[in-house]
Structure 1
Amino acid sequence: MTNNHSQIIRRITRRSNIRRVFQRLIKIFKTHLLLSLTISSVFVGLIIGFAFRGMNLSQESVRLINFPGEIFMQVLKLMILPLIFSSLVSALAQMDAKESGQMSLFTVGYYVITTLFATMTGILLVLVIHPGDPAIKQELAYLEIQHNPISPLDTFLDVIRNMFPENVIQATMQRTQTKYYFPLNKKTGNKKQDNSSQGGNDFNLIYRKKIENINGMNILGIIVFCTGFGIVISQLGERAKIIVEFFYYFRGSNNAISWHIYVVNTFRNC
């Protein structure tokens, strides 16, 4: 009887321990729901991907499988502007003028530093990995410019220009970038060249610099505008209370929408 009683107690203890472990896992899963779903979807996607790899699917089938992912990526890009605008304005508007000024400098500096690190990482990976098809590179080698006319000064000035866009609506769709072109000879249609070296064998291409608006969101200009707008609202005090409340609830609604998008987006990884 004593042995049976002890065995029953051990079984009950094991079951209770297993239940506690499962309860802890469920609690952790609920606490970190987004991270858990993302990791799970990655593993499920790898399994499904390897399973479909041996089925020799057609291009149309691959496009149909990839189509939901394209839609989710577009929705994520759609939420970038509302999140930046509402978060920055709402956060800075609820601070003091001194605190909001420090926060604005920190925000702009953080964006510039992370952009520089991202650029350096991209250049390093290109130099190490050399992505792309070598055959295509050889075919397009004649299109490469041996002497790149864009200088570090042009890049720096482009950053300053993008910090102060001439139109905030245009900044949501376009950004400023310096480009160099080869003026064509009206008679021959060839690129103009400067035959100034000995014997006329070496040519110096004559570039024409133009400052153009290219497609792409000007994130830096939007951040600068939002920080300035938020600082001004914080200085107005009670007179801008309605605007502060509007952006506060606007930010809350954007965060709620974004959270649901992120949760659904985890299934896109499959």
Structure 2
Amino acid sequence: MDVMGNRERRGVNFKGLLKRNWLLIATVLSVLLGISLGVVVREYASLSHLHKQYFGFPGEILMRMLKLVILPLIISSMITGVAALDSEVSGKIGLRAVIYYFSTTIIAVVLGIILVMTIKPGVSQTADHIDREGTTPNVTTVDTLLDLLRNMFPENLVQACFQQYKTKRKELEPPKASEETTTIPPLTTTIMAVVENITKDYKIIGTYSDGINVLGLIVFCVAFGLVIGKMGEKGRILLEFFDALNEATMKLVQIIMCYMPIGILFLIAAKIIEVEDWEIFKKMGLYMVTVLSGLAIHAAICLPLIYFVIVRKNPYIFTLGMAQALVTALMISSSSATLPVTFRCA
């Protein structure tokens, strides 16, 4: 009787595990099927560029649906979450989040430098055969930090929903020299060229690029949520509105996630079909090894170690709960589009 009872309990536990993680299992299977389908279509079907785009249409629909709910999800969840917290508690949480962010960033940078100095991905015999295109933008650290601060405080909240602010430098023309011809020694010419390069003057030109200004929206939502939280009963109506909006958006996310396995299948298959030169993987082998090694060490050792030291719990159980978001981000290569899935897992 005890043996029969144990078997029944195991069967129930297994069924419960499948019921809770069916979406994760379906996503992993869709990844494997997508790879297989992409290889088969690539080998046995000659598709034109237009037909390749048609083939990946279901995956494009998935990306568009995920990006569709990003904006209402950020606004509703941030405002309701901050408004429900005490200002002192939210301040402590924000401080800890900033410390954690900078700490993990520093660890990632140090790990990356160590791996690059050890593996040396740029030193290879096949590196000279890689086609290099494009130009390096004239961007400095100061300009990047200033753009970050500018985007934290967007001048138009509606525009921040679909555009980011970005500046670029434009070199000003130096004043014209006199037309008198004089003979200048070569050494003097070289020194003058160096001095001229150092003393170049630039003009900052502001432009807008496509993409949600997530940072600006978060700053506004945090400030707005704090204000609503301090309004008491007067802010109750707004709080209930954003709470209902958050719940409705999460139900939309659940519907989208039911379509996710189909979208990921065609998304991966289309990416495999679009690859024209498989030799690029050999040429960039050391670079890929460096990147994947850094990601593996950071995700499997560094972050779980921080979690274990602070929380004193098994970090891999927590990682299993976030597996759906991790697999989705890996397959669609977009952390912003994975944001709805991340919110659901959290």
Range class of TM-score, shorter chain: 0.7 to 0.9
Distance in 2 between the 1:208 and 1:179 partners? Answer: 8
SS of the aligned residue for 2:207 comes to strand
Shift of 1:68: 1.2
Matched, 1:152 2:147: no
Q: Is 1:42 aligned to 2:39, yes or no?
A: no
Equivalent in the alignment of 2:158: 169
Match of residue 31 from structure 1: 20
Q: Secondary structure at the match of 1:168?
A: coil
| Cα distance per residue 1:4-31 (max 9 Å; x no partner) | xxxxxxxx97xx95x7665443321211
Are positions 1:91 and 2:81 aligned together?
yes
Partners of 1:247 and 1:160 lie apart in 2 by 27
Letter in 1 for 2:189: G
Are residues 1:100 and 2:90 paired?
yes
1:138-184 Cα deviation digits (max 9, x unpaired): xx4xx635xx6422122111111111111111111222222112457
Residue 53 (structure 2) aligned to one of 63, 66, 74: 63
Give the AA of the match of 1:41. Answer: S
Q: Where in structure 2 are the equivalents of 1:243-254 lying within 5 Å?
A: 243-254=238-249
CA apart distance, 1:90: 0.9
Aligned to 1:262: 257
Whether 1:236 aligns to 2:220 is: no
Q: How does 1:110-121 map to 2 (within 5 A)?
A: none
Does the alignment pair 1:199 with 2:189?
A: yes
> CA RMSD for the aligned pairs?
3.9
Question: Using the alignment, how far apart are the partners of 1:22 and 1:42 within structure 2?
Answer: 27
**C-alpha distance in 2, partners of 1:86/1:119?**
33
State how far apart, in whole Å, the 2-side matches of 1:88 and 1:27 are.
32
- Which residue of structure 2 lines up, in the alignment, with residue 179 of structure 1? 168
Please state whether the residue corresponding to 2:227 is helix, strand or coil: helix
Q: State the TM-score, normalized to the length of structure 2.
A: 0.58
Distance in 2 (alpha carbons) for counterparts of 1:149 and 1:109: 31
Is the contact made by 2:61 and 2:263 (CA closer than 8 Å) also made in structure 1?
no
- Residue aligning to 1:72: 62
> Which residue is equivalent to 2:72?
82
Contact 1:90–1:247, Cα closer than 8 Å, also in 2: yes
Q: Is the 8 A contact 1:162 1:218 kept in 2?
A: yes
Which of 1 and 2 has greater Rg?
1
- Aligned residue in 2 for 1:226: 221
Q: CA deviation at 1:133?
A: 10
**1:250 to partner: Cα distance:** 0.7
- Following superposition, the deviation at residue 84 of structure 1 comes to 0.5
CA drift at 1:211: 2.9
How far apart are the structure 1 equivalents of 2:108 and 2:208? 22
Distance 1:153 1:108 in 2: 20
Deviation at 1:134? 5.1
8 Å contact kept, 1:69–1:268:
yes
Residue aligned with 1:54, SS? helix
Aligned residues between the structures = 241
In structure 2, list runs of 5 or more residues that go unmatched: 175-186, 266-346
Give the counterpart letter for 2:45 in structure 1.
Answer: N
CA contact (8 A) 1:95 1:234 kept: yes
